[in-house]
Each structure stands twice: as structure tokens, then as C-alpha cells.
Structure 1
Amino acid sequence: MTAAPPRQPPATLRTRLVVGNLVLIAAALAVTWTVATVAGPPLFRDHIEQDQALPPGLLDRAEQAFHIANLLEVLLATAIAAVLTVGLSLLITRPVSRTITAMAATSARLAHGDYAARLVPGRASREVHTLAGTINGLATKIQNTEATRRRMLTDLAHEMRTPLAAIDGYLEAICDGIETADAPTIAILRGQLQKLVRLADDINAVSAADEHRLALAIRPTPVVEIIESAAESLRPAYSAKGVTLRVAGAPDTPVNADPARIGQVLINVLNNALRHTPPGGQVAIDTATGPATTEITIRDTGEGIPPEHLPYLFERFYRAHSSRQHDDQGSGVGLTISRAIVTAHAGSIAVESPGSGHGATVRIKLPTGRSGRDPSLGE
């Protein structure tokens, strides 16, 4: 079976517009020429003969002059129309053609990994400017996504290096006979493996949140139930460290929330507060309810956060304290996951701190729900 011949690329917009206008001129010329040569001369002769008697030779010369005048007028009109058509077509299509060519070049750069490429539409039409803005917005989104992906891979490799190095070191020591595979050593290896598992689970949760794949069972739930459940699960840890956990009169006002997911957010925040509050300190949970939102405030008397770190706390693996670099309890994405969950609830989360040594405050705002169960919010 013979291969089909390659299709010729379609004509450019400029060529199509010029050819279309020239065809229009040709049609108008044909009509004008037909009228001037078929209908015009007989009408001219009849008109002259009816008005006055002229010698036959003079009438023939007059008719011939009429033909020549018509021909010159048609040719001149055609030439002027053709020049104007070509000129206007080039004038109209030039910026459009330049912009389309620039779009193709920008798209090719983006396809080859140059995510900094942007389109400058110049003096094109409003529609072309809108299209250029859409392409530039897409390029910015791709650039940000790629930057996030690279940073995430770099941070993930960094986070995995410590537990993997510990596992490798213990296994090598066991092989060399320096260590024995006794219960304490196995416990250490298992702890490092569990840290890798937690890291993988957290990364998967962050990816699911970023891609809007979080499964939420939102329903009106009394905020006191969510707060008390999270607080009770962490009271043993607070007692062991000597940090006071105080819940100040949480109301039974319902919030539109998935109690398990919001409980996960509170546990993340309370764990952070415990980690950075010294023995003898205090962490307090307060609640304020408004007509549209309910705000949960968590204040601690811990290390505090320098102002320059506050804008970056919700980024993946960002650590405001160097002491957290080798923290075995957190994966570095707890606040990232918390923000994703709260945002999925149409709420907000923010961190405030006067500075180092002055503690920190986390404010979580959630939509206030209606009393009773709302079946429209899902199971």
C-alpha cells in the first residue's frame, strides 16, 4: 500500500484575506465589464439617436469613445481597488501574523522546557491581547508547577537522606559485626523505616490536596467535639513534657467540616506547639463564633517565630528553626497539609508571632454550619 502524499500546509491568514479580496474585485470587475460592454453601448446609441440625428460616422466614433472611456474607467477602478485591497490586507494582517508567529515560537519554547518564555502581543487587536494573556498565564502556571516539582524533589531527597543513612549505617555495622541485630537495633531500624513511611504518606497527602483529590465528608459538626477529640489525643504527650494544654470553653456551635480532617489539622498544629514550647509552658485553644465563620485560635508560650520566616511557614519542608532540622517527629509538611485541608473547607489558616521568645498564634477560620444534619453536604 503506497503512502499518501504529504498534505500541503494551509495558506496563511494574510494570503487568504488577500486572495479573497482579489476574488471579490474580480467578480465586481466582471459585472462592471458586462454592463459596460453588453448593456451600455446599446443604451448609449438609443439615447443619442432619440435626441438628435447624427451622421453615422460621428455616432460610431462616439460609441467607440464610450467603449474606450468605460475601459479606462474600469481598469483604473480595478487598479485602485487592488492596491487598496492588498494594502489594507497587509496592514490588517501584519500585526495578527506577527502575533501568531510569536505564539508559535513561544509555544515551541515552552514545549522545549523554556518556561520563562512569554508572549508580547504588540499592537494587535483586543482579542489577540486576550489570547496572549491566556498563553502567558498558562506559561506562568507551568513555570510555577515545574519550580514546585523541582523544589519538592530536592527537599524530598534531603529529607530521605537522614533515615536512609541511619538504616545503611546500622546494616553495615551489623554486617561488620560491630552491631548485633538485637531488639534495640531492630527498633531503631523500624523507627527509621516508619519515618520514611510517614514521609511518603505526607507527600501523597500534599499531592492529593494540590490536585483537589482530598476526600472530604463535610457535615455540620459541633466545633467542641473536634477540639476536645484532638486535645484528648495529645494530653498524654503534653503531660509527659510538662506543658499545659488548656481548652477555653469551646462552644457547641456547628461548623461545616469533615471532623476527621479538621481534627488532623488541629493535631498537626498542637504537635508543632508542643514541639516548640519548653516544659512549664502553656498552649491554649480558644474559639470565637460569628454569623459566617468560626475561628479557632491556638496560642503557645514557646520559642516564637522570627518575622522573616512567617510568609514561608506553609511551604513544603520549610523550617523556621534550625533545631527542627533533625527532628524525628515531623516530616516538614504538616502545615502544608493543614493549609490544603482548611482551604478545601473554604476556610483559612494563618500564623502570627511577635518574634523569637514570644510564642506563636495559629488562627483557623471555618464556615459556620447550621444546627442539625445537612444532607446536601455529603456523608
Structure 2
Amino acid sequence: MSSIFSKILTWVAATVLVSLAGLLATSAFVSARLPGKVDFFARAQKVQLNAAREAYERGGRGALAAFLRRQDSDYHARHFLVDRRGVDLVDGTDRSRMVARAGPPAWPPLLPRGPLVIVRTSDDGAHRLLIELPPPFGPLQFLPYFLWFLAVIVALGYLLAVNLARPLRALKAAVERFGRGDLEVRFRSDRRDEIGQLGRAFDRMAERIETLLTAERRLLQDVSHELRSPLTRLIFALELARTAPDREAALSRASKEAGRLTELVDELLSLTRTEGDPAARVREPVPLGPLVRGLAEDCSLEAARRGGSIVLDADPDVVVLGDPELIRRAVENALRNAIRHSPDGEAVDLRVSRVDGSARIVVRDRGPGVAPEHLDDLFKPFFRVEADRDRESGGVGLGLAIARRAVGLHQGRIRASNADPGLAITIDLPASSTDVAGSATANA
């Protein structure tokens, strides 16, 4: 009996049986001691005895017989009047054995042992009234009347055991699958009791562990994949620096490859942090106006070196709830990507507005755009348009991937579309209640 199902069912059945046995025992105890113990019945029987004596003394055996027949009919019991020796005054039968059987029934009266005999003696001891009652019910005779009650209780106990044991078994199976490496398994219970709370705690734990392990695995895969080529070129450049006549050019090439390695490692670490521990994330109101204004100032020098500029159009009242560093990184990566791919002398547009209860950020360049079939690929790690792979400004292909993951952590959406000319990156984030209240106040 190691399962909770069998324990619950056994305890319910045992409780019902003990309760039923106690009820039957109490009923038998009370019913066995009721006759002769209640003064009301004793007085009524005394009245019967005096009436029987009066009928006998006035009318003899015939009157006594008629009186006793009426008592038998009225009380559904047999009545006899005997003398002090136990002889029946109506028919002369010796009823001394019946007198000897008088008294309360044996205890415990599990089964009836014959009729119950009650004796009432006159004050002078000359006459006795014998009352023979039908056999009383014993506890076992009551048992069939309680069987339906017992069956209902056991059925309800069975349902209770199933209701408790089934989700625990499902949770056990989920834990075992998770332990075998199935990180996507979840309990997903709608119960509001402690079992449901335990299941939701497991789901939160599994989600957290899956996020951490997935980020770690992705980081290892990305590092092993992307570091191979820069390291090979760096080793080759260092070898040239020792053997080539133009050592300055070789060292410059080595420095450039080392810089690309540093940039790659920084981007990989940033990508991993966006998928890190959910409990460590900051959630606070973030005004987007000051945030994008600061980004525009930081990136304006980079745009100016290419002869371009950043055109800012930001609603100062738009507020979102989230991690300001992650939101800043998402917008910054989209903005720097637009500057990098915008032709020399062209402006980059940066707009912030409120659309249907959401905060919308749009970053648009005026470059050549992207083929429609590659628009979704822009947000995949290390993806770059083929034409950019050999450009000095091509980057490492992680900026928009980081932006997508940062936006996803805020239940937002990021997408790319061709703007003819150029490419537009649109970020939609849920506006905070602060923003909605401020908007309502402004409209009023």
C-alpha cells in the first residue's frame, strides 16, 4: 500500500466502517436499555397491571381474557396475568419459565435471541403482569439499511483518491521526462489547490532551466561555429608577420582580426544575457522619448562619418514596462544596422509613436533593401545578406538577432519590411498603464 491512491481509499473505507460500527453499537446499547429504564413506560405498565387485576377481581377469567386481548391488539404485544407461582390466571398455564426470561436482552445483542419479556409485579406480590414483545432489532439486522450509505461513501472516497492521485502521477511523469532531457515538457494544470500550485512551480522551474540551458548551448554552438574562421585568419596573419617583407600590413591585418574577435565575443555575450535568468531581469517604466533621443546623439557621429544624419521624430509621452538596458540594446542594434547599410550622405529615420495601445519604434535606412524571401532571415544569428559578407561594415550578423530576442522577452514583436527605398525595422512593444493613463489625461 505504497501509493497515495490506495492510502486515501483505505483510510476512507476504514473511517466509514469504524463510524458505522460505532453508530450500530450506540444504537444497540441505547435500545437494549430503554425498556424498564424509562419511568414513563414503567408507570404505563403499572397502570396495565392494576387494570388487569381489577378486571379479574370483578369479572373473573372471562373479563380478564377480554381485557388482555384488547391490550394485545392495542400494543401489538402479548399480555399475561399470573399469580406469585407463575400460573396463568386465564388458562392455568405455568409461565414460570417466561418469568425467568424477563429482563434486558443480552449484550451485545448482535442477533435477536427470542422475544423480549417485561415483568411488572403488584405491590403485594400476589400478581405479575407479563408483557412479551417482538424480538428487538440487533445491530446486524440494521446493517442492510446502511449498505447504500457505505457504498456512497466508498464511491466518493474513490473519486477523491482519483482526483488527488491522477495529477500527482502526471506530475511525476513530467518530472521523469524532464530528468531524461525533455526540457519542453510542462505540467500545465488549471487546478487552484496545492497540487496545482506545485505543478505551476514545476513549470516555472522547467522554463527557467530550459532558458538557461538553451542559452548556454546556443552560446557554445555559436562560439564554436563563428570563432573558427577569425582564429584561422589571425593565425595566418601572425605567420605572415614573421615571414612577409611587409610586416606592418600583416600586423594591421592581425589587429583587425583581433578586433573582429573581440566584437564577436561581446555580441555573443550580449545575446546570451538577453536569454539569461528571467528572475534577474528588471521591469520598470521606460520612457521611450529620452531613450531614443540619447541613442540618436550617441550614433550621430557614426552617421556623420558617412556624411549622413539621424532624423528623430519621437512622441515624448510613450512609456513601456520592461528592462531599459534590453530595450536600449534592441533599438541601438537596429539603428546601427540602418547606419551601416545606408548609402553615404543619406539620412536614417528614427520614429517613436503610439499605435493601438502599443509603442511603435521604426528605424528606416535608404539602402538597397533586402529580397522579400530574406526579410525573416535578418533576425537569425549570423545571417548576413550575401552582398555584405565581404564588406568592411558587414558586422558579425548578431545585432538584429539580439534585438529580436530582447523584444520577445517584453512580449513584443519586431519585423522587417522594404520601404522603397531602404529597409524599415519596426518594433512594437506593449505600452504601460502609465502611458495609457497619460494619454487619457492628455486627450481629456
Which residue of structure 1 lines up, in the alignment, with residue 8 of structure 2?
16
Which residue of structure 2 lines up, in the alignment, with residue 25 of structure 1?
17
**Contact kept? 1:18, 1:85, Cα under 8 Å:** no
Query: Offset of 1:109 from its aligned partner?
Result: 1.4
Number of residue pairs matched by the alignment? 348
Which residue of structure 2 lines up, in the alignment, with residue 352 of structure 1?
416
The structure having more radius of gyration, on CA atoms, is 2
SS in 2 for 1:233: helix
Deviation string, structure 1 residues 191-223 (Cα, Å, up to 9, x no partner)? 222222222222232333334657899678657
SS in 2 for 1:319: coil
Q: Alpha carbons of 1:152 and 1:40: their partners in 2 closer, same or farther (altered >3 Å)?
A: same
Query: Offset of 1:287 from its aligned partner?
Result: 3.7
SS in 1 for 2:418: coil
SS in 1 for 2:301: helix
Which residue of structure 1 lines up, in the alignment, with residue 217 of structure 2?
150
Query: Offset of 1:33 from its aligned partner?
Result: 0.7
Alignment pair present for 1:284 and 2:348: yes
Pairing 1:151-230 to 2, within 5 Å after superposition: 151-172=218-239, 178-179=243-244, 182-211=247-276, 222=290, 225-226=293-294, 228-230=296-298
Q: Alpha carbons of 1:297 and 1:12: their partners in 2 closer, same or farther (altered >3 Å)?
A: closer
CA distance in 1, matches of 2:293, 2:188: 55
Q: Alpha carbons of 1:279 and 1:29: their partners in 2 closer, same or farther (altered >3 Å)?
A: same
Deviation string, structure 1 residues 163-212 (Cα, Å, up to 9, x no partner)? 111123334556xx644793332222222222222222222323333346
Which residue of structure 1 lines up, in the alignment, with residue 99 of structure 2?
56
**Contact kept? 2:417, 2:423, Cα under 8 Å:** yes
Note the residue ranges of structure 1 that are not aligned, 5 or more in a row.
1-8, 240-244, 371-379
**Contact kept? 2:289, 2:318, Cα under 8 Å:** yes
- The one-letter code matched in structure 2 to 1:40 is S
Pairing 1:37-48 to 2, within 5 Å after superposition: 37=29, 39-44=30-35
Alignment pair present for 1:110 and 2:186: no
**Contact kept? 2:16, 2:153, Cα under 8 Å:** no
CA distance in 2, matches of 1:106, 1:294: 39
CA distance in 1, matches of 2:275, 2:15: 55
Pairing 1:290-305 to 2, within 5 Å after superposition: 297-305=362-370
TM-score (norm 2): 0.60
Note the residue ranges of structure 2 that are not aligned, 5 or more in a row.
49-78, 81-97, 104-113, 118-132, 436-444
CA distance in 1, matches of 2:248, 2:347: 36
CA distance in 2, matches of 1:134, 1:347: 21
TM-score (norm 1): 0.68
**Contact kept? 2:414, 2:427, Cα under 8 Å:** yes
Q: Alpha carbons of 1:59 and 1:302: their partners in 2 closer, same or farther (altered >3 Å)?
A: same
Q: Alpha carbons of 1:57 and 1:207: their partners in 2 closer, same or farther (altered >3 Å)?
A: same
Q: Alpha carbons of 1:270 and 1:11: their partners in 2 closer, same or farther (altered >3 Å)?
A: closer
Deviation string, structure 1 residues 123-179 (Cα, Å, up to 9, x no partner)? x978667876775676567556645543443223211111111123334556xx644
CA distance in 1, matches of 2:305, 2:148: 91
Q: Alpha carbons of 1:307 and 1:131: their partners in 2 closer, same or farther (altered >3 Å)?
A: farther
CA distance in 2, matches of 1:99, 1:249: 55
Alignment pair present for 1:319 and 2:319: no
CA distance in 2, matches of 1:31, 1:182: 105
Q: Percent identity?
A: 21
Query: Offset of 1:118 from its aligned partner?
Result: 5.3
2:424 aligned residue (338, 361, 364): 361
Deviation string, structure 1 residues 280-306 (Cα, Å, up to 9, x no partner)? 7x3432546569887554322323223
The alignment's C-alpha RMSD in Å is: 4.8
1:273 aligned residue (338, 350, 365): 338
Query: Offset of 1:271 from its aligned partner?
Result: 3.3
- Name which structure has the greater RCO, CA cutoff 8 Å, separation 6+: 1
CA distance in 1, matches of 2:285, 2:158: 60
Query: Offset of 1:246 from its aligned partner?
Result: 4.3
